[in-house]
């Protein structure tokens, strides 16, 4: 088994999901008392959120790239970044390491293609939905992503003010369901939960169209590589 290096803490709520899913998946695949070989660098999210708000992406990228380098030096055979938004600085991380960096959008796109979907809704932070870095990867992978055509500030606030703090509210769930319904009306065949916390709020049982949880798909992709 290879060692999985995780860059987490953005937020710790979703990083905890990564830890659980990865270990459950290793146990399912190997049986017995097997669990994953993991190294994690978990950040204090508050300073990074401030960098996001101020547009200091180069500074944030340098911080995460150094974390990836340290994980590789400590013995990680691959790196996973436990957040969608900070994949905006993925190129800085990739250039800092010699081990594989598993981009969160790629296993998600692969599963959507396998399931026969093309036009997909993309939900996430305002950065993920508006800045194009994520949608560009999806297009390169053969998908046609669309983002909400409504005011997305409320969707963004639910992530930062509630989900990142472990707060789950039915009213917020209904807000996301309404956004998904609108995406479906515009042609989305499925929806990407493109923030690692959104899966805490929404799943297939609540959504009018299939949901693809990036946290779960990314974590399982890391396990696949670790056990390959």
Neighbours of 213 (CB within 10 A): 21
Neighbours of 75 (CB within 10 A): 12
What is the rounded distance in angstroms from the CA atom of residue 89 to the CA atom of residue 68?
12
Check if 83 is active-site. yes
What is the rounded distance in angstroms from the CA atom of residue 115 to the CA atom of residue 137?
18
Check if 175 is active-site. no
Q: Which of 82, 83, 128, 196 is catalytic?
A: 83
Q: Which of 85, 128, 164, 195 is catalytic?
A: 195
Q: Are 217 and 107 in contact (CB under 8 A)?
A: yes
The residue whose two tokens read 């769930």 is: 173
For the annotated catalytic residues, the residue numbers are 83, 195
């Amino acid at each position: 088994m290879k060692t999985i290096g995780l860059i987490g803490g953005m937020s710790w709520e979703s990083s905890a999901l990564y830890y659980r899913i990865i270990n459950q998946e290793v146990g399912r695949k190997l049986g017995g008392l097997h669990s994953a070989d993991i190294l994690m660098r978990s950040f204090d999210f508050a300073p990074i959120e401030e960098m996001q708000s101020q547009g200091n992406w180069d500074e944030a990228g340098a911080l995460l790239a150094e974390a990836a380098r340290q994980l590789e030096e400590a013995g990680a055979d691959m790196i996973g970044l436990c957040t969608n938004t900070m994949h905006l600085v993925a190129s800085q991380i990739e250039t800092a390491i010699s081990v594989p960096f598993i981009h969160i959008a790629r296993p998600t796109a692969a599963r959507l293609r396998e399931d026969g979907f093309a036009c997909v809704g993309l939900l996430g932070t305002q950065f993920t939905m508006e800045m194009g870095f994520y949608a560009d990867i999806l297009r390169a992978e053969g998908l046609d992503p669309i983002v909400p055509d409504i005011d997305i500030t409320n969707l963004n606030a639910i992530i930062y003010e509630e989900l990142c703090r472990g707060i789950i509210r039915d009213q917020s769930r209904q807000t996301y369901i309404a956004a998904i319904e609108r995406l479906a009306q515009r042609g989305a065949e499925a929806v990407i939960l493109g923030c690692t916390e959104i899966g805490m709020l929404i799943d297939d049982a609540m959504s009018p169209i299939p949901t693809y949880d990036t946290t779960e798909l990314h974590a399982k992709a890391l396990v696949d590589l670790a056990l390959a």
